[in-house]
Amino acid sequence: MRPDPSELLELAGRVAREAGEMLRAGIGHLRIDVTTKTSGTDMVSEMDRASEALIVEGILAARPDDAILGEETGSRDGTSGVRWVIDPLDGTTNYLYRHPIWAVSVGVEVDGRAEVGVVVAAGLGEVFTATRGGGAWLDGAPISVSGATDLAGALVGTGFGYAASRRGRQAVVLPHLLPAVRDIRRNGVASLDLCWVACGRLDGYFEAGGQPWDVAAGLLIATEAGASAAGLDGGPVVPESVMVAAPGVAPALFALLVGAGADEPLKPPH
């Protein structure tokens, strides 16, 4: 039997808010258990792990047959056809530097398709949600993308990877982009960048090299709010290749990014 999206939304919201509250209460405490993962700048702390443990425990208590993909604990199989895609602390670097911009991101897929997205920005006191076909919401109020139509006036978000070599290749786009838009923003939190496109705080966002947990919830929230989405090669959007924008600027922005080789960092180095 297909699960009821409103029940999945309720559960996703509950576990994400609990984890967000735990993280908010813990920010600023001296972090003793900070290690690194894929590179010297890719930090993970006991708070990332504690947040994921809390979320996974809450999900499995209610839905023991579901599958889970979590940034810190990896993949767990299920039999229900439902999969939870979790970033327990998106913006770890911001969090450890005590910036207020970080989030808990929970996406829910049914039979491989995104059906529910929840992004809790507990440091900012905001909750973004969406269900497929049900629109996108901020703290219970409907949201939609900006009405921007002029690329020269567009505010565009982006992000960079943890590997120095990749950052160098990602920077190649900037000389093409910066003269062509209002400005760029590097917030450090993909899930929130996507939500800020959804509510018009950004007119577009792109990033090469993201992970499924960075974008699972935010992509649904952005597209349910009216955003156009594509891969950096102009093909379908996938976690590691994302560009989204308000429809009025999407064609121009997407053409610029494809023309500037924004997908280059995803290709094997020459």
User: Which residues contact ligand LIP by CB under 6 A?
Assistant: 87, 90-93, 159-162, 188-190, 207, 214
Residue (of 156, 152, 130) closest to 226 by Cα position? 130
What is the nearest approach in angstroms of ligand LIP to the Cβ of residue 161? 6
Q: Where are the alpha helices (DSSP H) in the chain?
A: 5-26, 46-62, 92-96, 164-170, 174-177, 190-198, 212-224, 250-259
What is the nearest approach in angstroms of ligand LIP to the Cβ of residue 111? 26
CA distance 39 to 238: 23
What is the nearest approach in angstroms of ligand LIP to the Cβ of residue 243? 13
Contact assessment for residue 128 and residue 118, using Cβ atoms and an 8 Å cutoff: yes
Question: At 225, is the secondary structure helix, strand, or coil?
Answer: coil
Cα–chain center distance at 267 = 22
Question: At 260, is the secondary structure helix, strand, or coil?
Answer: coil
Nearer to ligand LIP, 157 or 248 (CB): 157
* Chain residue at closest Cβ approach to ligand LIP: 159
Q: Which amino acid is at 227?
A: A
Nearer to ligand LIP, 15 or 96 (CB): 96
Residues 6+ apart with CB under 8 A from 183: 155, 156
What is the nearest approach in angstroms of ligand LIP to the Cβ of residue 72? 9
Nearer to ligand LIP, 62 or 260 (CB): 260
Contact assessment for residue 202 and residue 191, using Cβ atoms and an 8 Å cutoff: no
What is the nearest approach in angstroms of ligand LIP to the Cβ of residue 7? 27
Nearer to ligand LIP, 217 or 256 (CB): 217
Nearer to ligand LIP, 93 or 144 (CB): 93
What is the nearest approach in angstroms of ligand LIP to the Cβ of residue 6? 28
Nearer to ligand LIP, 56 or 110 (CB): 56
